[in-house]
Amino acid sequence: MKQFFVLLFAISVMACSGGGDPAPTPTPTPPTPTVSVATLVKKVWSASSVQWDGVTKYDKSSTSNVVQGYSQYKLDLSTAGSVTLTEFDGKIFTGTYTVATDGNSLTLSGLTSAEGAPTGTGGTIVYSILSTPTATGLSLQQSTAYVKASSAIVKLALVN
């Protein structure tokens, strides 16, 4: 009888311990890779709309723009660290660019052409990046007033 109780105890311990296959471990979902702002801006951009001190001077969809020259505006950031800027007056400048590590500003520096640097910039233009760039859009605002834009703060909505 004692052996019967020991056997019954052993069977009940095995039954209570689960005995079967362990539950499968869930496969972790890998994190979605984040694309840096420096990577997102690495394109050739053109003007969609432009404001000087909050007043629209150019809109790509309009036929009557105050500053029609923005139809030729290009900001070529397609080569990492190298920039070609085609201004609204048709002048072309080359230099270098950097995106701040926090992704909130874009600095064009060493801008030059056969005629020198863009008027009143000393060869450097700093933009605030107003929102995270997308595959097709980049919103910038110059950090200081721009002499060529009647000493206004220029806000650019760019597309590629």
The pLDDT of residue 19 is 52
pTM of the model: 0.77
The pLDDT of residue 1 is 60
Domains and CATH numbers, the chain: 37-159 (2.40.128.280)
* Dist. CA 143–CA 124, nearest whole Å: 11
Digits of tens for pLDDT over the chain (160 positions)?
Answer: 666 655 556 666 566 655 556 667 777 877 767 788 999 999 999 999 999 999 999 999 999 999 999 999 999 999 999 999 999 999 999 999 999 999 999 999 999 999 999 988 999 999 999 999 999 999 999 999 988 888 899 999 999 9
Q: Which helix (H) or strand (E) holds 108?
A: strand 105-112
Query: Residue 106's beta-bridge partner residues?
Result: 99, 127
* Dist. CA 2–CA 137, nearest whole Å: 83
Helices marked H in 17-152? 37-40
Written as six digits, the tokens of 56 are 């629209």
The pLDDT of residue 72 is 96
Phi, psi of 3 (to 5 degrees): -65, -35
